[in-house]
Amino acid sequence: MSDIPAVNLEQVTKSFGRKQALAGLSLRVQPGEVHGFLGPNGAGKSTTLRILLGLLRHDAGTAQVLGKDPWADAVELHSRLAYVPGDVALWPNLTGGEAIDLFMRLRGSANPARRDELIERFDLDPRAKARTYSKGNRQKVALIAALASEVELLLLDEPTSGLDPLMEAQFQECISGVRQQGRSILLSSHILAQVEALADTVSIIRRGVVVESGSLEQLRHLASTSISLRLREPREVIEVLRGTPGVHDVHSREGMVRFSADQEHLPQIMQLISDWGVASLTATPPTLEQLLLRHYGEPGTTSAERK
């Protein structure tokens, strides 16, 4: 496996007239990594992907894909990467199978056995004309072509848009297999559970800048753990908890005490409640949604950013 990052953006800027889409964005995808790329519409995700595909030229900073310049070396790079957009357009008179074969030939790689396996897994009729396909079936064509191609990097932008839950599960299994092969994936998705299940690393973009990046375990220190506990015997613990450092939002209902706790104070909090005769306790780490809301849910966030 090469030590060269699959994607390496350093302080990249891009403006469209007076509107700045990227304001010094830095992003690195390591070889063999699934990297989740998160942010609402208008945050700069699509502009970033277009730069990586060589469709846009950045204004300043450094941009490299597989060690190459995505603008100057676009032709070479497109034989080494696969892109799946969130809304796939196909040639209406080609069958699904013909479209898959065309995509694979354009990338200079063909694995007929893998192609056939994926067609069966995604339950696609390859003999049907593309004009008869639903949105979900068009997505399947692009996904099959990308996953069957022997490329080094997959750029996936809402790749399962229109797929049902069963096909979503197939997609997740396939991505896990691709990662085991040492290939790199940049996954932009609004399905937070999908990113949480697949991504080794997550980057959160806001207003053209990556504001947080790291593994989920590294990022979870940024939000509180939710704790629910039930005591064997009723006790007056609400006021005690409210006066404990690192404890927030304490409330009780039907004998269950619930609160949130800051990560750095968890050892002391757990020591405190261990002396209370706990009958049951559930500790839930912060979700990816909570991490996103840290940046997009606070007052002052624009409505466009919340879409």
CATH code of the domain containing 267: 3.30.70.980
The answer to whether residue 294 is domain-embedded is no
Does 138 reside within a domain? yes
| pLDDT number for residue 221 | 66
Question: Residue 165 is part of which domain span?
Answer: 7-215
Final residue of a structural domain among 194, 215, 236: 215
Whether 124 and 71 share a structural domain: yes
Q: Is residue 82 part of a domain?
A: yes
Q: What's the pLDDT at 300?
A: 42
pLDDT of residue 305: 40
Calculate the CA dihedral of residues 101, 194, 7, 200 and round it to 10 degrees: -130
* 50 plus 85 within the same structural domain: yes
Do 250 and 108 reside in the same domain of the chain? no
Identify whether 72 is part of a domain.
Answer: yes
Q: How many domains does the chain have?
A: 2
Per-residue pLDDT of the chain (307 residues; tens, 9 = 90+): 568 999 999 999 999 999 999 999 999 999 999 999 998 888 899 999 999 999 999 999 999 999 999 999 999 999 999 999 999 999 999 999 999 999 998 887 778 899 999 999 999 999 999 999 999 999 999 999 999 998 999 999 999 999 999 999 999 999 999 999 999 999 998 888 889 899 999 999 989 999 989 988 777 666 678 899 998 877 788 889 999 998 988 998 888 999 988 878 889 999 999 889 899 999 887 777 777 777 676 544 443 343 3
Does 90 share its domain with 184? yes
**Assigned domain for 261 exists:** yes
Q: Are residues 170 and 70 in the same domain?
A: yes
Question: Going along the chain, which residue ranges are E strands?
Answer: 7-16, 19-29, 34-38, 60-65, 81-84, 153-157, 184-188, 201-206, 209-214, 225-231, 247-253, 256-261, 278-284
Which of 154, 181, 215 is the last residue before a domain boundary?
215
